[in-house]
Amino acid sequence: MKKMTISTLVKQKQNGDKITALTAYDASFAKLFDEQNVDVLLIGDSLGMVLQGQDSTLPVTTAEVAYHTRSVAAGVNAAFVIADMPFMSYSTPAQAYENAGQLMAAGASMVKLEGGAWLCETITGLKQRGVPVCGHLGLTPQSVNVFGGFKVQGREDDKARQLIEDALALEAAGAQMLVLECVPTKLGKAVTDQLSIPVIGIGAGVHTDGQILVMHDMFGVSANYMPKFSKNYLAETGDLRKAVALYIEQVKNGQFPGPEHSFDK
């Protein structure tokens, strides 16, 4: 297996080869996913909910993400490793530089930040300092209290236009990948078509360049609830490795996500 890089992922977008991604939090599962040829592993601040039992991602710290990043990196040979920057760990550029440095030193190849055009200065500064950045738009869980809950974003025309403008701004600032969460399928396609960087969807429809799932959702063991955009692959296969292989197959051939996992409007 060749080591995945951002150049490899961009080439997959250009070739129409869907990108597969999963969250991971330890070496054992990271190794399992890597051996099944998952392209991208994300150490998500979702760990606050699926590992710690919190009701949001907000309590997660940079030190906790760094710990899990070291664990995941130890189990990986080929997958591209992205680490989430937690809530309020990048409120200023200087703060972002310091915290991103910790995550890169722990083994990440890229960091992920939630937010729109207000992050452009930070993204440019991180790239100049050798830190690749993945943006995150749509439902950004760190803003759950602003949104008033976990709700689909971009349903109104003006909100959809703003999201597209934010996506273009992030790319222009130097973001090299984008996660797009919980938006209507039509908007997911519009964003993907307008960007030259890979767009990874979760609840953003089938037309994005790739898909990501929280591993606990894919295995049906999430502590809280199963989101509409997720699918329990373990229930269908009865085996962890077969579940991952089926997920990869269905993302690659466009079977997942289906209409039942997506939002029309």
Residues recognised as catalytic: 181
CB-based contact 200:212 (threshold 8 Å): yes
CB-based contact 177:6 (threshold 8 Å): yes
Which residues are documented as binding site?
45-46, 84, 112, 114
Bridge partners for 179 per DSSP: 136, 200
Q: Is 181 helix (H, G, I), strand (E, B) or coil?
A: strand
Q: Regarding beta strands 210-213 and 177-181, do their DSSP bridges make them parallel or antiparallel, or are they unpaired?
A: unpaired
Which residues are documented as binding site for 3-methyl-2-oxobutanoate?
45-46, 84, 112
Residues 6 or more apart from 77 whose CB is under 8 A from it? 1, 3, 34
The dihedral formed by the CA atoms of 136, 12, 19 and 147, expressed in degrees to the nearest 10: 20
Which residues are documented as binding site for Mg(2+)?
45, 84, 114
Peptide bond into 257 cis (omega under 30): yes
